[in-house]
Amino acid sequence: MPDTVGLRHVRDSDLEFLQALYADSRSVEFAALQLEEAALQALLSMQFQAQRAQYRQRHPDSVDYIVTLDAADVGRCWVNSSDAGIRILDIAVLTRFRRQGVASRVIREFGAKAASGGRPMRLSVWHDNAAAIALYRTLGFQFHGEHNGYHELEWPAVAGDRRSLVSQEAATHE
């Protein structure tokens, strides 16, 4: 397990890191296109900008965080929080830092915030993303529907339930 996982607000100076993270997180799907390097970089840049614009437009009050591991930038988590619940819009960790508990810790933190307010936490995951689906199931997310190839998942907070995802996960493994 990592020592110190943290969050900080995205700054303008993080744009290069975020674009590299986007490319890293999409490397398998874009490699299948077998594009020349210049075309691949142009496509990745366009897709990255489109994602940012879409999140900002659809969720103007959302917050984009850099995920840190021992003060090093290793990922991002873009979150929209409202009275209706917490929605994780995007969570990504650089390939070399995956499977170390980084994303789990971040998700648990937001799960605890959702639970403290008696709100659900939701996210969407592409139906082919087996690793992410397995992670979310381990954390207690439940299938809540499908939309345009994405599984809609929810971690339902019961009114008055103040348990965090950590305690919920422990309860399901006892």
pLDDT in tens, 100-156: 999 999 999 999 999 888 899 999 999 988 989 999 999 989 998 999 999 999 987
Q: How far is CA 122 from the centre of its chain?
A: 10
Non-local CB neighbours of 160 within 8 Å, separated by 6+ positions: 118
User: pTM score, two decimals?
Assistant: 0.81
Q: Residue 120: which H helix or E strand, with range?
A: none
CATH of 5-172, one of 2.40.50.140, 3.40.630.30, 3.40.50.720, 3.90.1150.10: 3.40.630.30
Can you give the length of the chain in residues?
174
Of all residues in the chain, what percent are helix, strand and coil, respectively (each to 5)?
Answer: 45, 30, 30
